[in-house]
Amino acid sequence: MSIRTVSTQPYADQKPGTSGLRKKVPVFQQPHYLENFVQSIFDSINAPQGATLVLGGDGRFYNRTAIQIILKMAAANGFGKVLVGRGGILSTPAASCVIRKHKTFGGIILSASHNPGGPKEDFGIKYNSGNGGPATETVTEAIFAKSKALSSYKILDAADVALDMLGISALGDMQVQVIDPVSDYAELMESLFDFAAIRALLKSGFKIKFDAMHAVNGPYAKDIIENRLGATTGSVMNAVPLEDFGGGHPDPNLTYAHDLVEIMYGDDAPDFGAASDGDGDRNMILGKHFFVTPSDSLALLAANATLVPGYKQGLAGIARSMPTSAAADRVALALNIPCYETPTGWKFFGNLMDAGKVTLCGEESFGTGSNHVREKDGLWAVLFWLNIVAARKQSVESITREHWAKYGRNFYSRYDYEGLPTEAANGVMSHLRDSFGALAGKQFGKYTIKTCDDFSYTDPVDGSVSKNQGIRILFSDGSRIIFRLSGTGTEGATLRVYLEAFEADTARHHLDAQAALKELISIALRVSELQSRTGRDKPTVIT
């Protein structure tokens, strides 16, 4: 076996987005494309000779091919050992867990999350640091800079490594250890939650349905929910990870998780429903005929955290991404703990958690998590909810309604306009920026604009500044409209419009969110000129 140095030309488009590099599979299949990016990672992270890495992905098409390439490159680049999930499988939160538990130098996660998989669909790769979290912006920028100047990469000439059986094998001077993808993670969950109470709840006839959406969380949910917690067989549906996710869109929301939604809104609906995404870090929570918005879910977990063994000491603080509703802020205020507002993407939470400033964090995009790992964690959120339900012995709906009655309700919705021509999407954003002055103080019915700005974040731990993280239109009553361009799309541009209105009056809490937000939606369309500038009269997805 010999190490080969391969000459290459740089690709100009390897800029990591919100969550690593995501492209269509054929883009990754171009000569040296994946290799270039992996070498750029290795050249940027300053790993000592003999360091250990974690490697795994969500099992989508190209996962296995990519893993073999990365293993051979790791061996050629002086790594001492790689821990890889059996079959190349590791959910994103499990990868984070394994990095932390085994104190490895870092890890590489292969996923395009909630985007479809298959030969013509999406693939992705990102680097996570030794804290288990996505590389910071400083590191991802260094990786991008390297990728633009790369002239060669190193790879070991060797046969593929067998990945389907647990055990250790040699790849040149490097060890490859195939690990059970579930066990470290399941152990961590058992240490945080009251499994006995959840087991008793499930035994008492409480019915649950978990939709793994043919994605990575299937084996995790089967083991934890059915085997360890004793839910009836079949409580986990679509539990076998498929390379194309069964042709579906593994995104747990009311649109794409329609199989589950039908069950949860049907005649004989279970008491609790949940789904997670392609790589297992997102979650959707449903009660019988009831949907919990992710922003409310974060607030509810925070308000009830001391019912859960792992959090019974209370929370150091809460963090939410800027577009996430301020429901969590109200809980933080009541608990007298700090609440941080960060840019979108999990990489911004890591520093806060490492510094002990926050315990829980979340995003409106169906992501919730805590300092138990450094990624959002879909199954963790489900177990947190089940623990709360077991402790309070109330339905999901009544827990949520009580929460609104106490804290007020933040009506919330997100409109996504996908696959727009880039110029049109940029045009909407620059038109809004040009209008800041004219909009301030303007009144629209009962809404008056207080200020508009471009969200900028200064990391309280390392002082780094991230600018242009979304346009905020802030109203005097606390309502908000936010415009932001997605950093995870792989086709054209995706424009997201986030809408939030606060309602203290309990008598209005039963309203449908779309009805409650109607006026704000029309203001958003009017001030942005979105429809005329993009030619779209409706969003692709509403969540």
What is the binding site for ligand VG1 (CB under 6 A)?
18-19, 113-114, 277, 281-282, 321, 344-346, 363, 365, 367, 486-488, 496
Q: Give the residue with the Cβ less far from ligand VG1, 73 or 318.
A: 318
**Which position's Cβ is nearest Co ion?**
113
- Beta strand 106-110 with 52-57 is parallel
Tokens encoding 253 = 């929301």
Tokens encoding 211 = 């939709």
**Binder of Co ion out of 52, 113, 235, 494 (CB under 5 A):** 113
Q: Give the residue with the Cβ less far from ligand VG1, 16 or 310.
A: 16
Tokens encoding 412 = 């919330």
Could you tell me which residues come within 8 angstroms of residue 512 by beta carbon, excluding any fewer than 6 positions away? none
Among ligand VG1, Co ion, none, partner that 342 touches (CB below 5 to 8 angstroms by kind): none
Q: Which of the residues 40, 91, 113, 297 is marked catalytic?
A: 113
Min separation Cβ 422 and ligand VG1, Å:
14
Q: Give the residue with the Cβ less far from ligand VG1, 52 or 486.
A: 486
Q: Give the residue with the Cβ less far from Co ion, 55 or 197.
A: 55
Among ligand VG1, Co ion, none, partner that 400 touches (CB below 5 to 8 angstroms by kind): none
Please indicate whether residue 113 is annotated as part of the active site.
yes
Alpha helices in 109-232 (DSSP H): 137-147, 183-192, 195-203, 217-221
Q: Is 194 helix (H, G, I), strand (E, B) or coil?
A: coil
Residue 35 engages Co ion in binding (rule: CB under 5 A): no
Among Co ion, ligand VG1, none, partner that 363 touches (CB below 5 to 8 angstroms by kind): ligand VG1
Among Co ion, ligand VG1, none, partner that 410 touches (CB below 5 to 8 angstroms by kind): none
Residue 149, number of CB atoms within 10 A of its CB? 9
Among Co ion, ligand VG1, none, partner that 39 touches (CB below 5 to 8 angstroms by kind): none
Min separation Cβ 365 and Co ion, Å:
9
Q: Give the residue with the Cβ less far from ligand VG1, 96 or 479.
A: 96
Looking at residue 232, the DSSP 8-state letter turns out to be P
Q: Give the residue with the Cβ less far from Co ion, 277 or 459.
A: 277
**Contact predicate 433/325, CB 8 Å:** no
**Contact predicate 473/453, CB 8 Å:** no
Distances (CA, A) of 382 to 115, 460, 525: 21, 30, 35
List, in sequence order, every residue forming a beta bridge with 377; answer none if it has no partner: none
Could you tell me which residues come within 8 angstroms of residue 75 by beta carbon, excluding any fewer than 6 positions away? 3, 156, 158, 171, 172, 173, 174
Interface mask toward Co ion for 262-281; x: CB under 5 A: ---------------x-x-x
Min separation Cβ 113 and ligand VG1, Å:
3
Min separation Cβ 112 and Co ion, Å:
9
Q: Where are the beta strands (DSSP E) in 13-166?
A: 21-24, 52-57, 81-89, 106-110, 122-128, 152-157
Distance CA 358, CA 352 (A): 6
Looking at residue 124, the DSSP 8-state letter turns out to be E
Q: Give the residue with the Cβ less far from ligand VG1, 181 or 270.
A: 181
Min separation Cβ 467 and ligand VG1, Å:
15
Residue 456, number of CB atoms within 10 A of its CB? 12
Min separation Cβ 466 and ligand VG1, Å:
13
Tokens encoding 176 = 């490859």
Min separation Cβ 321 and ligand VG1, Å:
6
Among ligand VG1, Co ion, none, partner that 19 touches (CB below 5 to 8 angstroms by kind): ligand VG1
Stretch that binds Co ion, among 113-121, 149-157, 211-219, 494-502 (CB under 5 A): 113-121
Query: Environment class of residue 393 by beta-carbon count within 10 Å: exposed (0-12), middle (13-18) or buried (19+)?
Result: exposed
**Which position's Cβ is nearest ligand VG1?**
113
List, by residue number, the catalytic residues: 113
Which residues make up the interface to Co ion (CB under 5 A)?
113, 277, 279, 281-282
